[in-house]
Chain A
Amino acid sequence: MTDIAKLQSELTAAIEDADTLDALEAVRIAALGKQGSVSALLKTMGAMSPDERQVQGPIINGLRETIAAALAEKKAALETAALNARLNTERLDMTLPAPETPRGTVHPVSQVMDELAEIFADMGFAVAEGPEIEDQWHNFTALNMPETHPARAMHDTFYMTAADGEEPRVLRTHTSPVQIRTMTSQEPPIRIIAPGRVYRSDSDATHTPMFHQIEGLVIDKGIHLGHLKWTLETFLKAFFERDDVVLRLRPSYFPFTEPSVEVDVGYTMVNGKRVIGGNDGWMEVLGSGMVHRKVIEACGLDPDIWQGFAFGTGVDRLAMLKYGMDDLRAFFDGDNRWLKHYGFNALDVPTLSGGVGA
């Protein structure tokens, strides 16, 4: 064995034996450092004759490369082992809880209002609004309920305090005054829905003094009861996302419509709850009718040219029928638990393509 071969096998063994990065570094310095044994061999090449260098050069360089490669390989192995050892000490209990993020919710009434806006937008209805503290002309008189009209007394009206001699304003008893505000402020044709808070002086298990209604109004030429029927059928089918929604129209009476129609929707009993669809039974959901001539006249429109229909229903009620709440009072209690149970995810935005129910 030559000296070089011997040196190589000694160094290789030393590399092999090094069990820490420090020990390996010592081997590297002893071999490839300035004073190292391999470095010393490399230096001897300067004094060699060209012929001798021709022979010894590749051998010495080969030694250097071999040792450098072995060092690198050993270093990588030691580093991997060290990393593994460190990772082994860094083990976490992954069953520990992650930081909590509070879950926010949208109130069912808001959600249902968004659903209604989406459905009616497809039928060309815009969303209109009006004041909740309303004057009596808009809330009653213009709706063909003169002061002594018995229906006016039936409304359980909240009156506002007023200065002496001033007619007290009222908390609107229905969303119908928005009909008046719309007809007096824009030219027909009109297609609007008007959702919002309404107030009646009534409080028991199924009534709250404040609740939500939605009003619909179409004023155009040649609009009749058949259009009303189609609109309500189409809306209810879309809202409940069922094709077996059946309506029953009943003649009724509202001062501001003539003819007036009450609308029942068929339901089936599922697990003791009424589910819309089918016709095991009927429940009243909407009041509607052809807008009374006097109402159209009161708004400054010519009832011989313009006619149309109006309808109104409870938004809270629609929410209850669709999503199964059974206590209206809880809607206005702000109970965290209820809001989280019945509320909707922020991203449950009703869309026609994604569905209006969530």
Chain B
Amino acid sequence: MKFPLSWLKRHIDTDATAQQVADALNRIGLEVEGIENPADRLSAFRIAKVLRAEPHPQADKLQVLSVDAGNGPMQVVCGAPNARAGLVGVFGSPGTVVPANGMVLKVAAIRGVESNGMMCSVAELELGDDHDGIIELPEDAPVGQVYADWAGLDDPVIEVAITPNRPDCMGINGIARDLVAFDPQTFRPRSPDNVLVEGKFAFPMKIGIEEGSGCRTFWGRVIRGVKDGPSPVWLQNWLKAVGLRPISALVDITNFFSYDQARPLHVYDIAKLNGAVVARRGRAGESFVALNGKSYDVTTEDCVIADDAHVLGLGGVMGGEESGVSETTTDVLLECAWFDPEMVGETGRRHAITSDARARFERGIDPMMMGTVIETATQMIIDLCGGEASEPRIATDLGPDDYPNGDRLVAYRPALTKALAGVEVSVDEQRAILARLGFFVLDPQNPELWRDEESRQTALAKIGIDPAAPADPDHWVVRFPTWRPDIDGAADIVEEVVRIHGIDRVPSTPLPRADGVAKPTATLVQSLERKVRRAAAARGLNEAINWSFIPEKEAEAFGGGQAAVANPISEDMKIMRPSLLPGLLSAAQRNMNRGAQTVRLFEIGRRYLAVGERLTAGIVLAGEKTPRGWASGKATKFDAFDAKAEVQALLTAAGVSVETLMIMPVLSGAESGDAGEHYHPGQSATLRMGPKNVVAAFGTLHPATARAFDLDGNVVVAEIYLDAIPVKKSSAFMRAPFTPPTLQPVTRDFAFLVAADLPSGDLVRAIRGVDKQNIVAVRLFDQFVGQGVPEGQKSLAVEVTLQPMEKTYGDDDLKTISEKIIAAAVKLGGTLRA
């Protein structure tokens, strides 16, 4: 919300500058977002008189003017149709910046005639839309004076962000009240201009509210014999300064109260009404055209104002076009109503209407000020538009005790300010601050403060104060003002006291510190995540962070999403990713489009499954593994074993013993928790801890998937399901003792012919298993198919490392072990190669 300084001064008497006001507002919690003075940009523009105007010798539409801006005649070329001798306007001299387009005025020849500046239009100075001609000022406007000063534009506008808890500050009077509370010496309150307008005739029509309509009070007044027209300049200027377009006096008056008192009003042209005006629920099939020109179908959940024939408006949200005032209006109904804030909010959201009225009603309007506002507004209508007022009419279903935010009390201990805010504020100061804000520390035993004894007892009991107990200086009863619906507990009172006392006066107080050096705080999973991240970066991978939401099509390629956003920002950000790979592949593709030769990306984040959010590491390797090189020859591509290497390295970093993992095919579908269709069926695998627990999947991306992501060549990917890795704290720091064998290990090579489809890992594991005592390592070092190897078979060669423990091996020992190894291979269908 913004307001000009001059408007604030309607409520307070002060010499403070806009900056001083802004500083004060910031300190008390009304955040200033900016100060802008329209005069700043106009300071170089002066009032000038056109002395002579002659036709331009080269151009029909131009004139050559002689202009006096206080320093004698100057020649100016001008194209405005209204330029003429005797006109008083606004002149910009060379060197001046034109606000509308940022151009710097220069001395220049225009069609061969020198021009020394510019006579300006309203649009050029950004003071309006009119650019048909140059500004025309009254003849007596002082030539040479700065135009902005003369026109009263030197009026800084302060923009404040109003938090939702402060409906009172949606009116300039509320902002003024806070300033007064903060510093009554600098910001001196002016007494409000309350009036009572005498009714000249009985209220001539029917108004009403239906029970449950959402309107609790409809206060009306009819003014007859008005003449609507433009509002006075001061009002237009103020409305323009707050960002509104002046419309006509009657409309401008309602807008004035919306900003001045946070009190929206509405005027109806009585000539356009049919019968009684009633607040009720909308009915199915009803619609109306609102002031924004759009048609709305109202619902039974909306509160509407309607006459006998039509819906006239959505209560507290927006009025209708049809019943609005115009130049022909003579009699008006002025409405000052109180709508249920929640219903206003819901109606606004339902129809996606934002309006000044909604913003105020939704946050809560002071129900106790309807009378003063409607009186003041009636007077203003009579002052500006003439006419005479009826008696007021009030339709309400509120009893004296159930005014919203009526008699509301809060129990407050002055000591709470120190306890909660850590700052000492004397009880006298607390009391004074509260009083200036309209809060009243009352004596609970004073019967005059309540209607009767019963309401006194009820009110006090409600806040836990014993109605019989004498007033206690340590336990205050605070009655808070009707314009502060946000107050609902003692902590709110602390906030009021502290923000006015000065939150900067809260002393910084160290948190108590535990003895000794700070203890480690990372959980095991957090430590695991950090290790995997740093290990991946150490291996040359670049960490990316991708969107958690992906397009539906991409999710489907990876088994389908299991959670979807109902109101996505775009279709590309709709499905919560079931895998990290789509995001990484899209990033890889963007990089390739930017000309990257190689992409090595990883991400650690969650995948979103029906069963929950699972911590995952994803890897994509695309493009060249190694570039062509003087030593290495042609560029090489990534293959599935590069993915395997990354996975094994990161799992090792995560503390997993990789050798013990089972290597099994990628499964598709829900069974594995991992959809496998995006992998090359012959060049992919999963690593499992036990047959069910998949800790990682890796391999070459299926060419169809690669194509879907617009990626060429071999793309290899991997996912590590970090959530599947069991984490446990090692019980002690102490390692097992170091006992290297005293004897040297022996190696023996074996080559076997086996079926071509036998996984080499099976052979290695079988050999490893024949004598766990002596065989400490089995390493596959050759795989061969071709000459000398029968069709359907392959040759696998392994190096077996044997570790003697007590004594060196004799020929018999080695022979026994060799026979066992060969037997194991035979069992897998293998034969020893001669």
Contact = CB atoms under 8 A, between A and B. Distances in A.
A110 B423 contact: no
Contacts, number: 263
Given A106-B537, A249-B506, A209 B594 contact: no
A97 B519 CA distance: 47
A132 B613 contact: yes
Interface in B499-555: 499, 503-504, 506-511, 513-514, 518-523, 526, 530, 533-549
A107 to B, nearest CB: 4
B105 interface: no
Interface string B139-172: 0000000000000000000000001111000000
A224 to B, nearest CB: 4
Binding site secondary structure of chain A: mixed
Contacts of B371: none
B363 A150 contact: yes
Interface residues of A, number: 90
B546 A259 contact: no
Interface in B405-419: 418-419
Most central of B533, B596, B626 by chain A CB within 10 Å: B533
Contacts of A335: 587, 590-591, 594
B27 interface: yes
A158 B606 contact: no
Contacts of A252: 29, 31, 163
B495 interface: yes
B498 A225 contact: yes
Contact of B521 (A103, A121, A153, A340): A121
Contacts of A209: 547, 549, 569, 573
B509 A227 contact: yes
B29 A104 contact: no
Interface stretch (A3-11, A37-45, A343-351): A343-351
Contacts of A290: 420-421, 491
B511 A230 contact: yes
Contacts of A225: 420-423, 498, 503, 506
A106 B523 CA distance: 20
A104 B536 contact: yes
A251 B29 contact: yes
B420 A334 contact: no
Most central of A122, A149, A226, A335 by chain B CB within 10 Å: A226
A331 B544 CA distance: 8
Contacts of B519: 121, 124
Interface string B248-261: 00000000000000
A242 interface: no
B779 to A, nearest CB: 24
B521 A127 contact: yes
B28 interface: yes
Contact of A131 (B31, B537, B613): B613
B591 A114 contact: no
Contact of A102 (B520, B549, B600): B600
B564 interface: yes
B135 interface: no
Given A121-B518, A210-B547, A345-B537, A258 B506 contact: no
A251 B362 contact: no
Contact of B164 (A133, A197, A224, A253): A253
B507 A347 contact: no
Contact of A161 (B499, B565, B606, B608): B565
B494 interface: yes
A194 B342 CA distance: 33
Interface in A158-179: 158-162, 168, 171
B565 A171 contact: yes
B534 A339 contact: no
A151 B165 CA distance: 9
Interface stretch (B471-479, B629-637, B712-720): B629-637
Contacts of A273: none
A210 B564 CA distance: 15
Interface string B684-711: 0000000000000000000000000000
Interface in A321-358: 331-337, 339-340, 343-347, 349
Contact of B542 (A148, A248, A331, A336): A336
17 contacts: A104-B542, A127-B523, A153-B349, A158-B567, A160-B576, A171-B565, A201-B569, A210-B548, A224-B418, A227-B422, A248-B504, A258-B491, A290-B421, A334-B588, A334-B591, A336-B596, A347-B534
Q: Which 4 pairs between the two chains have the least Cβ-Cβ distance?
A: A334-B587, A251-B29, A226-B422, A102-B540
